[in-house]
Chain A
Amino acid sequence: MQKNGPFALAFHTLIVLFVLAPLIVVCLVAFTPQNTLSLPWDGLSLRWFAAVFHHPDFVASFWNSARLALFSATISTMLAVPSALAITRYSFRGRDALNALFLSPLIIPHLVIGVAFLRLFSFIGATGSFGWLVAAHVMVIMPYALRLILAALNGMDLSAEMAARTLGAGEWTVFRRITFPMLLPGISGGWLLAFINSFDELTMSIFVTAPSTVTLPVRMYMYASESIDPMMAAVSTLMIALTGVTMIILDRLFGLDQLLVGKG
């Protein structure tokens, strides 16, 4: 690999610093012993982390978000696997349209989707229902799972399935014993990506959550619009840590480049 010159190295360092600076500042502020948002010049304190764990709304919202992300990521992955198989393996009328439809939530602003769901939910009387919240999340996070599974399917050698067939395996056995295990890295990567996206989703969730189903990002948004204190920084730090750990696991298991860029 080619080495960077001193100028390029300085440039890259600046870019990386620029991207990371806000996160670093938030993480530092979280450790302040003061009552205001300030850098911890005079000693470190975990009091704001403690405050988060003693704030029942935040704890409840965290579990809401976790439960929501777990359900919606699992359901969207279960929908994405057969969809991806249909799109890559079969040619039928409207295949491209279907593919575009499945991926469209990526390009439609979440604000628009949120308003649309708000109208729909109040129309069918689903406001405040956890099930319908899951459905809304499934719609916006499925494209992430689908994209990864599509990439995995496109890179897969079909002859392994043919070989299994010649060895006496029926269609279902081929899927269960060969296709699914070979796709597993793509599927689990898709699941994790969907999970993170659901856990982080704010714009749409603002419109469709009810007091009993408020997610963590929505709770933070509500809290921050009333008052700003270092507890927000502590929550943010926890979320950054959680996402970071997930990303490291993803990278160790499958390689992030391969998951996010696809095998081409």
Chain B
Amino acid sequence: MGFLQLEQVSKLYGEFAAVRDFDLEIERGEFISLLGPSGCGKTTTLQMIAGLVTPTNGRITLDGRDITREKPARRGLGVVFQSYALFPHMTVAQNVAFGLEMRKVAKAERDRQVAEILSLVKLTSLADRYPREMSGGQRQRVAIARALVIKPPVLLLDEPLSNLDAKLREEMQFELRRIQRVVGITTIMVTHDQAEALSISDRVVVMEGGKITQVDHPYSLYEHPKNNFISSFVGKSNFLAARAMNEATGVSLRVDNTDLKIPATGSYPGGELCLSVRPEKIRLTDPAGAMLHGPVSSRYFLGNHWLLSVSTPAGEISVAVANLGAPPPSEGDITGLTWNIEECRVLAAEQESALQS
């Protein structure tokens, strides 16, 4: 039994199901990300855990206690909102102290705890500022401090980094993880940014259309996506139309005109299949003897790597080439492509067409 458990939780708005049959067990101290495109139900799920939205069906238990219908004030969870939701008429210290005041903590004790948490988020010197006098990153820290100071059993973060610029976002991402580790708090973060989810979570929950599509550790999620949606949403991927040559064992796949021997990792469904290969897993080789070959149609320099698009008989293939000094072939040059067979995923083709429609 998990520390925080969601069983068959659904939220219906009339006919529309924002979240459907959500099942998840979260262990104490885990950092979980809910990842998905906008409208996938991730924020609704978070709000149901916070108590700001009442589930239509299902049960939420926290440490064995049923909190499905409990008011947010009684749940005592820490919530960091996307807009930070700081109280503009209060100073940083007053903002942070609010939750303690509600808990009738005595003034001296309150001051001590506020000072302690402000030093954790490195804001001690700004305690008397008002939110409008602070930068986005600083406000973010205040919001985190305000949520953490009440020592909640669970910390809920709604797109916490989306309002920050790229450089700051990267910094705050690791800062968030540091704080989470120091406090050891069970954390659930909603995000649409896969890089964010992969880099700091223990487990990632991928959602699509109100349902969970995969729950996994970041590395396995990236390396073993369950369907095309996940492999295209989590990182980037090339999809090649394929066909199983031996349907019984599914060990040989026909991609374009080449036969690829794929190690048997289970039986593949018969008929149309789809092969997913990550751009960074593809190597450039001599056109002769390569799996696929064709002219480079575009080439972009992205600093630490080059992004190439190669026109092959199987379609446009993206290739990421690490910047190791020597520039890769330029536009128009013919190049060969190859990759380790173990590093591509075989998926059913219907999923892709369903996704594109």
Chain A residues packing against B (C-beta within 8 Å): 157, 159-160, 162-170, 173, 177-178, 181-182, 184
The residues in B between 70 and 100 inclusive whose CB is less than 8 angstroms from any CB of A are 71-79, 81-83, 85-89, 98-99
Q: Are A166 and B102 in contact (CB under 8 A)?
A: no
Q: Are B76 and A159 in contact (CB under 8 A)?
A: no
Cβ-defined partner of B83 (8 Å) among A159, A166, A168, A170: A159
Could you pull out 27 A-B pairs where Cβ atoms are within 8 angstroms? A157-B85, A160-B87, A162-B52, A162-B81, A163-B79, A163-B87, A164-B87, A165-B71, A165-B72, A166-B51, A166-B52, A166-B73, A166-B79, A167-B150, A168-B73, A168-B74, A168-B103, A168-B150, A169-B98, A170-B73, A173-B102, A177-B98, A181-B87, A182-B87, A182-B88, A182-B89, A184-B89
Known contacts A173-B102, A182-B89; is A165 also within 8 Å of B81 by CB? no
The residues in B between 45 and 72 inclusive whose CB is less than 8 angstroms from any CB of A are 50-52, 71-72
Contacts of B75 in A (CB 8 A): 166
Q: Are A181 and B98 in contact (CB under 8 A)?
A: no
Contacts of A160 in B (CB 8 A): 85-88
Q: Are A164 and B98 in contact (CB under 8 A)?
A: yes
Q: How far is the CB of A152 from chain B (nearest CB, A)?
A: 13
Chain B residues packing against A (C-beta within 8 Å): 50-52, 71-79, 81-83, 85-89, 98-99, 102-103, 146-147, 150
Q: Are A169 and B50 in contact (CB under 8 A)?
A: no
Q: Are B102 and A167 in contact (CB under 8 A)?
A: yes
Cβ-defined partner of B102 (8 Å) among A162, A169, A182, A184: A169
| Residue in B closest to A185 when the chains form the complex, CB atoms | B89
Q: Are A166 and B86 in contact (CB under 8 A)?
A: no
Q: How far is the CB of B89 from chain A (nearest CB, A)?
A: 4
Other than the given A164-B98, A165-B52, A166-B73, 8 more pairs (CB < 8 A) read: A163-B81, A163-B85, A163-B86, A168-B74, A169-B73, A169-B98, A182-B89, A184-B89
A184–B71 alpha-carbon span in the complex (Å):
27
A163–B150 alpha-carbon span in the complex (Å):
13
Known contacts A167-B98, A168-B76, A169-B102; is A159 also within 8 Å of B150 by CB? no
Q: Are A178 and B52 in contact (CB under 8 A)?
A: no
A-B contact count (CB 8 A): 64
Q: Are B87 and A178 in contact (CB under 8 A)?
A: yes
Cβ-defined partner of A157 (8 Å) among B78, B83, B99: B83
| Residue in B closest to A180 when the chains form the complex, CB atoms | B89
Contacts of A157 in B (CB 8 A): 83, 85
A169–B95 alpha-carbon span in the complex (Å):
13
A177–B99 alpha-carbon span in the complex (Å):
12
Contacts of A164 in B (CB 8 A): 87, 98
A165–B51 alpha-carbon span in the complex (Å):
10
Known contacts A160-B87, A178-B87, A181-B89; is A168 also within 8 Å of B99 by CB? yes
Contacts of B79 in A (CB 8 A): 162-163, 166
A173–B98 alpha-carbon span in the complex (Å):
11
Q: How far is the CB of A65 from chain B (nearest CB, A)?
A: 33
A32–B146 alpha-carbon span in the complex (Å):
65
Q: How far is the CB of A255 from chain B (nearest CB, A)?
A: 15
Q: How far is the CB of B119 from chain A (nearest CB, A)?
A: 20
A87–B233 alpha-carbon span in the complex (Å):
42
Contacts of A170 in B (CB 8 A): 73
Contacts of B77 in A (CB 8 A): 166
A168–B146 alpha-carbon span in the complex (Å):
12
A65–B151 alpha-carbon span in the complex (Å):
55
Q: Are B89 and A168 in contact (CB under 8 A)?
A: no
